[in-house]
Chains A and B, each alone.
Chain A
Amino acid sequence: MTALLERETAPAEAPRPGRGGLAGPLVKIALLGLVAGLAVWAAFPLIAERAWTGLAVLLAATAGLFYLYTGRRRVPAKYLVPGTLFLLVFQLFPVAYTAATAFTNFSDGHRGDKREAVVAIQTASVTRVPGSTEYALTVATTGDPATGPLTFLVTDPATRVVSAGTRDGLEELPAGDVTVNATGRVTAAAGYTLLNGGQASARSREITGLAVPTPGGAIRSQGLSRAYEGKAGRAYDAGCDCVRDTTTGRTWTADEEVGAFVAADGERLAQGWRVGVGLSNFTRLVTDAAIAGPFARTLIWNLIFALASTGGTFVLGLGCALALHSPRVRGRGLYRTLLVLPYAMPSFAMLLVWRDMFNTDFGLINNLFGLDVDWFGGAASARIAVILVQLWLGYPYMFLVATGALQAIPPELSEASRIDGASPWQSLKRVTLPLLLVALTPLLISSFAFNFNNFNAIYLTTDGAPFPADNPANGATDLLITYTYRLAFGGSGAEYGFAAAVSIFIFVIVAVISTVSFRRTRRQEEVYS
């Protein structure tokens, strides 16, 4: 969607910026042409797949773009639409989809739909009939290798008798009609075309779907060279909407409330499906004492962590940027490059390094300073440690941004105040800082929001430690997000629905805080208007 190098035709008399009087519209035409080309390209697969909804969306989007960029109105939209398109498709959709799962039981064991669960139950129950023959298999057809009806040519390894199996049953072939090799596989058979590996694998789905009925069960393929006689131990009965064990007769009835087949005595089959559960993920969040109990404590620490990380990195970063913001400092380029290094290294690797440096007996920090602190063993020291690590990781970012911001401030401004007799400190306080804050407040808010949910900072260092001996679920350095992760993925399978519910909850908290601080930026924004 680069369709937007939008250039309105400049009036002919435009004196100065008129260098490309014709270039503007031409670029625009080119880009719109590109959009049209892309749309045509994207449309063909949609037509081939008969995805009419998708095609309609594509057409509407293309038409919308043309309408927007050929008209002269709606100027803000012209600038916002390109990024927003990506945002809608690749961010908003995943978020909305995830949020929607908060109202379902989406979790391991409840991922698919009911039909998939039934298939899984039946497939998992197919066992070999005890004492049955293990056949050698050749896949053949009576017609064309790509489309003809499939036949299993199965050889009994003991007798070397070959039979032809189809959907209708098993039929013995006369010995003279077939040639069998040493392993028992058929190499030629009169009236049949044998499928080679490639041909057979092209029809993989049909082969695994073919069951040759036998008195004891059915012959199924196991790969392309073996077949076995198996019997499904469990079958779904649509009449009672239940799964029945074919030998014991025990039944499990579908329970649409929990999305599982449940027996009379309460035993559930492991393979369930996804159903809507209303607000129960949210009520669990509030009512479960193990979850609600440490919530307030975790929230307070989470706020402290986010504030300290944001504030600390800002002060450090700004300090360094100010120190280097002078043409007199020789080697500024080198300093800057080296200071950015912590940010240039993959953060997960550096988090692991830091964790190691805080090791009680072997860690560098204790060794270097002759300490014997059990850093991650005590709540206070562990919290200091994770904030310190966060400072290290985050301040180059603030340094960069502050450097850019300082450069963008017209030097005339501070020069002017200098001429007025202000000391460097005063001019910093009166001119530079207020301007910097205009530029950086939005960033500080977003940095706060990022650190509030800074999963890796905790997960890769303390992983929540230290944990009180009587509660292995919530540790002193846990953020809400790591706590959620443990709740949702630490159990007997991932609980996406529940995790989504907690995420929405956290989201609301961050949203409130951010909105409140955002309101305060309104005045700053108008600094020049």
Chain B
Amino acid sequence: MSKWFARVGWRHGVAALALVFSLFPIVFVVSAALNPLGTLSSTAAVPTGASVGNFGNLLTDTDFARWFGNSVLIAGLSALASVFLSALAAYAFSRMRFRGRRIGLLALLLIQMFPQFLAIVAIFLMFSTITDLWPVIGFNQAWGLILLYLGGALGVNTWLMKGFFDTVPRELDESATMDGASHAQTFFRILLPLVAPILAVTGLLAFIGTINEFLIANVFLTDTDAKTLSVGMYGLVAGERNNNFGMFCAGTLLTAIPTVLVFQFLQRYIVNGLTAGAVKG
């Protein structure tokens, strides 16, 4: 028994504690979502009334389904593209030595530091012109927003990946090069499979980051049809003294679904992307 505890049991203990910490605020969201009287008030942990009315209203009274689709599309595409761009850059930063490399890395980080609420003005300036010239990638278009989000593709995620690329022994690519592989082949065939777990993690992080992004999406997407979940849902509580907390909480729970699904999907890469086989290469 004590051996079991030392090997496995404590792990369950830690996980259970973490679960309690993680889940108890979420219990209130569930409670509020089931409560027919919309409130975010956490006076009671147990729902005072249980009904799925809020979920029903959400689907019938709002364009929730549409927001959901938009969000998944935008977050999915920009996560994919941004992981790809990030990986390319991380490869260069990790494997190659060139002038301005470390400055470049630092610059990537520092650019992200500028407060976004100030950048809104510049974004309007830029996209007003873009909308006039190329409406397909202008305001209210998913493509425009994806492009805008890709501006942030090189950033924290590049740092993250670069760190992981650094942990992959260099001998691997060197031996591949010896075998006559080009740098591109080394990258796509050798390195990428090795770092699959971190690609999955950054992909998930990018997905979550985009699906929760609010500040830019709020000004970028004004058409009801074009809105994303975070913008549409904020509208439920942000309109002048609206009190749609119940619907809002229902929506919050539903918003977590795509993320959880993406996580489920990526988890096997995170877990099975073990490098053992590749090292033997």
Contacts and interface: CB of A to CB of B under 8 A. Distances in A.
The answer to whether any beta carbons of A and B sit under 8 Å apart in the complex is yes
A364 interface: yes
A341 B248 CA distance: 17
Contacts of A453: 113, 115
Contact of B85 (A8, A82, A356): A82
A92 B148 CA distance: 12
B112 A450 contact: yes
Contact of A442 (B89, B126, B159, B276): B159
Contacts of B91: 79
B25 A392 contact: yes
B163 A440 contact: yes
Contacts of A408: 164, 167-168, 194-195, 197-198, 273, 275
Interface in A492-514: 496, 499-500, 503, 506-507, 510-511, 514
Given A42-B134, A86-B154, A455-B115, A9 B263 contact: no
B109 A445 contact: yes
A352 B32 CA distance: 13
Interface string A47-58: 001010010000
Interface string A319-353: 11001101011001101111111111111111011
Contact of A338 (B14, B23, B84, B183): B23
A145 interface: no
Contacts of B119: 94-95, 98
A266 B152 CA distance: 46
Interface string A389-414: 00010001100110111011111100
Contacts of A362: 41-43
Contacts of B65: none
B19 A335 contact: yes
Nearest to B86: A83
A369 interface: no
Interface in B247-272: 248-249, 252-253, 255-256, 259-260, 263-264, 267, 270-271
Interface residues of A, number: 127
Interface centre among A76, A396, A525 (most CB of B within 10 A): A76
A342 B22 CA distance: 6
Contacts of A95: 111, 114, 119, 122
Nearest to B118: A98
Contact of A443 (B160, B260, B279): B160
Interface stretch (A10-18, A157-165, A251-259): A10-18
A24 interface: yes
A352 B42 CA distance: 11
B212 A347 contact: yes
B18 A404 contact: no
Nearest to B257: A344
A17 B25 contact: no
A294 interface: no
Interface string A36-52: 00000010011001010
Interface in B151-199: 151-156, 158-160, 162-164, 166-171, 176, 179-190, 194-195, 197-198
A8 B184 contact: yes
Contact of A17 (B189, B198, B249): B189
A378 interface: no
B201 interface: yes
Contacts, number: 362
A403 B15 CA distance: 14
B259 A344 contact: yes
A404 to B, nearest CB: 4
B28 interface: yes
B156 A443 contact: yes
Nearest to B32: A353
B204 interface: yes
Given A341-B26, A341-B260, A80 B166 contact: no
A529 B173 CA distance: 12
Contacts of A333: 264, 267, 271
A456 to B, nearest CB: 9
A323 B15 contact: yes
B260 A404 contact: no
Contacts of A335: 15, 19
B1 interface: no
B118 A45 contact: no
A76 B134 contact: no
Given A481-B115, A528-B170, A392 B21 contact: yes
A53 to B, nearest CB: 12
Contact of B117 (A320, A343, A403, A485): A485
Contacts of B14: 319-320, 323
A527 B40 CA distance: 50
A170 interface: no
B34 interface: no
B106 interface: yes
Given A42-B133, A76-B92, A87-B154, 17 more contacts: A8-B183, A17-B179, A79-B96, A83-B86, A87-B111, A89-B126, A92-B111, A97-B122, A324-B11, A337-B267, A339-B18, A442-B105, A442-B159, A442-B163, A445-B159, A507-B114, A518-B102
Interface of B: 7-8, 10-12, 14-15, 18-19, 21-23, 25-26, 28-29, 40-43, 45, 81, 84-86, 88-89, 91-93, 96, 98, 101-102, 104-106, 108-115, 117-119, 121-123, 125-126, 132-134, 147-148, 150-156, 158-160, 162-164, 166-171, 176, 179-190, 194-195, 197-198, 200-201, 204-205, 208, 212, 214, 229-230, 233-234, 248-249, 252-253, 255-256, 259-260, 263-264, 267, 270-271, 273-276, 279
The 6 A-B residue pairs whose C-beta atoms are closest, nearest first, are A90-B151, A94-B122, A404-B201, A344-B259, A8-B182, A79-B92
